[in-house]
């Protein structure tokens, strides 16, 4: 670890702004929270596991940022309403939302139970809708704001995770609809679709999936996994004033992975090419931790 966060964005960019990050206790959410705090935002973390939120908040404070946190199950409508109200009371308004909380598990369609399907859809679609709706109704309808919904690489389907693919596709449609309906209030709504990102989320899969996960980089034209900081940079851009005329869009951060087709042969860039200036990894997050599945 070596600080501070090495953002490409101007210091103080979000000074005086309050930005809510769901799923902020790990992975992409944790990284994004760090970057936003380094740029002057008061970051509010939201998630189910209080210990994880408390740990990330303490990291941000140690690094000189401002951060508070609330434990909440985003699938619980009343709980979401209450926690957003508490944020508005505490901070006056919510200027930005990173709708990042989500999760899934690997199972073929024919083995997914109704309960399992509903749980994944509730987490990845319904919960995100509830948080966005309450941020709009309780704050952004009056003050405006920017929302970034985090989805996934759903182009070409999601074999083995059809419940998540369906939910994420629904979030794309929600993003496009909200961008139209909420524009009258000065609210922008976009989405970011991360591809194969070397994040702690990969460690949630069973050990037997390790070999498959390690081999995925060979199917990416960029020749490598993306990292959390590269994903965070896209999120931060869409929250920033530079994206003022962007709404209803999906920003893919995937190294061109969805364009790969069978029969193309070797598509991954060789290691030497991966270090060329335009494509070499952006190592911005000073507290990044390599997922266990990729460690020696």
* Lowest mean pLDDT, pick from 9-18, 25-34, 203-212, 242-251: 203-212
Cα three-residue angle 183-35-120, rounded to 5 degrees = 65
Three-state SS at 236: helix
Candidates 234, 206, 1, 184; CA nearest to 104 is 206
pTM of structure: 0.94
Lowest mean pLDDT among 60-69, 99-108, 170-179: 99-108
For residue 288, CA distances in Å to 13, 98, 158, 182, 259 come to 22, 19, 27, 35, 28
Strand (E) or helix (H) holding 5: none
Detail the DSSP E strand segments found in 245-288. 250-253
For the chain, list the domains and their CATH numbers.
Answer: 18-254+269-280 (3.40.50.720)
Interval 252-276 mean pLDDT:
86
What are the DSSP calls for 119-167, one per residue?
Answer: HHHIIIIIHHHHHHHHHIIIIIHHH-EEEEEE----TT--TTBHHHHHH
| pLDDT for 180 beyond 80 | yes
Q: Which of 75, 100, 97, 72 is nearest to 86 (CA)?
A: 72
Q: Give CA separation, 157 vs 58, 154, 164, 168, 201, in Å.
A: 38, 5, 10, 10, 20
Q: Confidence band (pLDDT; 50, 70, 90) for 262?
A: low
User: Which of 71-75, 154-158, 275-279 is predicted least confidently?
Assistant: 154-158
- Residues 240 and 168 sit within 8 Å (Cβ to Cβ): no
- Reading the block at residue 29, the tokens are 């959410």
Please say if the pLDDT value at position 196 is more than 70: yes
For residues 169 and 178, give the distance between their C-alpha atoms in angstroms, rounded to a whole number.
Answer: 14
Query: Tokens 């909200």 — which residue?
Result: 178
């Amino acid at each position: 670890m070596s600080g501070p966060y090495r953002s490409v964005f101007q210091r103080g960019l979000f000074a005086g702004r309050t930005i809510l990050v769901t799923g902020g206790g790990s992975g992409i959410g944790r990284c994004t929270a760090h970057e936003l705090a380094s740029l002057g935002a008061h970051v509010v973390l939201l998630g189910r596991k209080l210990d994880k939120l408390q740990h990330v908040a303490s990291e941000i404070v140690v690094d000189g940022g401002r951060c508070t946190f609330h434990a909440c199950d985003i699938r619980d409508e009343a709980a979401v309403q209450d926690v957003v109200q508490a944020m508005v009371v505490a901070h006056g308004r919510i200027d930005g939302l990173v709708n990042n909380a989500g999760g899934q598990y690997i199972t073929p369609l024919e083995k997914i139970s109704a309960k399992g399907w509903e749980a994944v859809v509730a987490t990845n679609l319904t919960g995100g809708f509830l948080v966005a709706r309450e941020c709009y109704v309780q704050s952004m309808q009056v003050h405006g704001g920017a929302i970034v919904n985090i989805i996934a690489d759903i182009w070409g389907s999601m074999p083995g995770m059809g419940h998540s693919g369906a939910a994420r596709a629904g979030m794309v449609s929600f993003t496009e609809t909200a961008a139209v309906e909420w524009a009258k209030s000065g609210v922008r709504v976009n989405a970011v679709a991360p591809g194969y990102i070397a994040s702690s989320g990969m460690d949630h899969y069973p050990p037997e999936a390790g070999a498959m996960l390690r081999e995925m980089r060979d199917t990416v034209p960029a020749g490598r996994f993306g990292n959390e900081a590269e994903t965070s940079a896209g999120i931060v851009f869409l929250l920033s004033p530079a994206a003022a005329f962007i709404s209803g869009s999906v920003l893919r951060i995937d190294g061109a992975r969805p364009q790969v087709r069978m029969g193309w042969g070797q598509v991954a860039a060789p290691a030497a090419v991966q270090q060329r200036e335009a494509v070499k990894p952006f190592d911005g997050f000073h507290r990044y931790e390599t997922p266990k599945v990729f460690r020696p």
